Amino acid sequence: MNPELAIIRIKNLRLRTFIGIKDEEINNRQDVIINVTMHYYAEKARKTDDMEHALNYRTITKAIITLVEDNRFSLLEHLTGKILEIASEHPWVEYATVEVDKPHALRFADSVSLQLSWQRPE
């Protein structure tokens, strides 16, 4: 692994949104737990200690919060894909993965989750 490749992880971002296709899901917000991983080359940030050379995970997190809390989703696939778009839109991001958990979606299971990944074309 390249030592200049930084990996940022946003862990267990807990939000509430409308997600699902049943009436109860359409009418009531549910918890979702979001995990995002982004890889980017951080050589300049590491060497300069200057925020202008770093990937701003706070800005990315705010965009995810706005997306999730201000919209409705039928499918976990669609929600996860929209979050992945945000995680991968910065030109410095080389690789991103997003996993969204929907707690208590199934009886006898802690959660159902969906994970999607993206890699910058070479």
- For the stretch 79-106, pLDDT in tens is 999 999 999 999 999 999 999 999 988 8
First to last CA, the chain: 17
Answer yes or no: are the C-beta atoms of 85 and 28 closer than 8 Å: no
- For residue 78, the model assigns a pLDDT of 98
Which pLDDT band, with edges at 50, 70 and 90, does 45 fall under? confident
- Over residues 39-53, the mean pLDDT reads 89
Closest among 56, 55, 104, 64 to 83, alpha carbons compared: 64
DSSP β-ladder status, 93-103 and 5-19: unpaired
DSSP 64-88: HHHHHHT-EES-HHHHHHHHHHHHH
Residue 2 has pLDDT above 60, yes or no: yes
